[in-house]
Amino acid sequence: METDMNQKVPEEAGPSHTGKEGGAAEETCEELRNENENLKKASEDLNQRYLRLAADFDNFRKRSARQADEVRQFALEKFAVELLEVADNFERALKADDASLREGLESIQKEFSGILEKHGVRPIECVNQEFNPEEHEAVACIPSDHPEGTVVEEFIRGYCMHDTVIRHAKVAVSKGKE
C-alpha cells in the first residue's frame, strides 16, 4: 500500500489542542497547585498542633511528677505534728532536777530528735534572731536590752519539714528598752 506523499495522513485519535482546551489544562494545573498549597498548610498546621500537644503533655508529666514528689514528701506531716507534742513534753521534763531522770530523758530525746531529723523535721532556731512572721508567732512583747523586734524567749519550739514551716515557734519579742 503506497501512499502519496502529497496525500494527507489523518491525525491519530487524541485530544486536539485548541486554545480553548489549553486554558482548561492550565486551570486544572492551577487547581492542583492550589490544592497542593492547601494540603501543605494543613500539614503544617497539624504538625504545629502535634508539637504543642507534645509540649503540653511533657509539661503535664513533669507537673504530675512534681506533685507526686510533694505528696510523698509531706505524707507524714500530720504524724510529725503529733510527735511534736511528745517532743514538747520531753523538753519540759528535761527541766526537772532529778539527775537520773534527766539522763534517761536526754537519751530518749536524742533518739527522738534523730528520728525527726531522718524524716526531714528540724527545729527552728529563734532566740536572739530577728522576728520572722513566717517562722514565729509572737505571743508576748516584752521590754529588754535587745533591739526591738528580736526574739528574746521561746515558749514553744517551731519546726520545719523539708524547708516548710509545719508549726510556728511561739515566742516573746523585744520591744526595746523602756
Q: How many CA atoms lie within 13 A of 153 on its CB side?
A: 11
Q: Is residue 50 domain-shared with residue 82, that is, in the same domain?
A: no
Average pLDDT, the chain: 83
Q: Is residue 94 domain-shared with residue 169, that is, in the same domain?
A: yes
pLDDT for 20 beyond 70:
no
Higher pLDDT, 17 or 115: 115
Q: Is residue 67 domain-shared with residue 82, that is, in the same domain?
A: no
Mean pLDDT for the stretch of residues 152-163? 92
Residue 106 lies in a domain: yes
pLDDT for 14 beyond 50:
no
Give the per-residue pLDDT at 1: 45
Question: Which pTM does this prediction carry?
Answer: 0.52
pLDDT for 7 beyond 70:
no
Q: pLDDT-derived band of residue 154, with 50, 70 and 90 as boundaries?
A: very high
Residue 150 lies in a domain: yes
User: Which residues have CB under 8 Å from 137's CB, separation 6+?
Assistant: 158, 168, 169, 170, 171
pLDDT tens track for 96-132: 777 778 777 887 888 888 888 888 889 999 999 999 9
Give the per-residue pLDDT at 165: 94
Residue 109 structural domain: 77-174
Whole-Å CA distances, 105 to 20, 57, 63, 122: 109, 53, 44, 19
Q: Is residue 68 domain-shared with residue 89, that is, in the same domain?
A: no
pLDDT for 44 beyond 60:
yes
pLDDT tens track for 46-61: 999 999 999 999 999 9
CATH of the domain at 145: 2.30.22.10
What span, in angstroms and rounded, lies between the C-alpha atoms of 61 and 67? Answer: 10
Q: Give the total number of structural domains in the chain.
A: 2
Higher pLDDT, 21 or 135: 135
Residue 65 lies in a domain: yes
Pairing of strands 136-142, 169-174: parallel
Q: Residue 140 belongs to what H/E stretch? A: strand 136-142
pLDDT for 24 beyond 90:
no
C-alpha cell at 145: 536590752
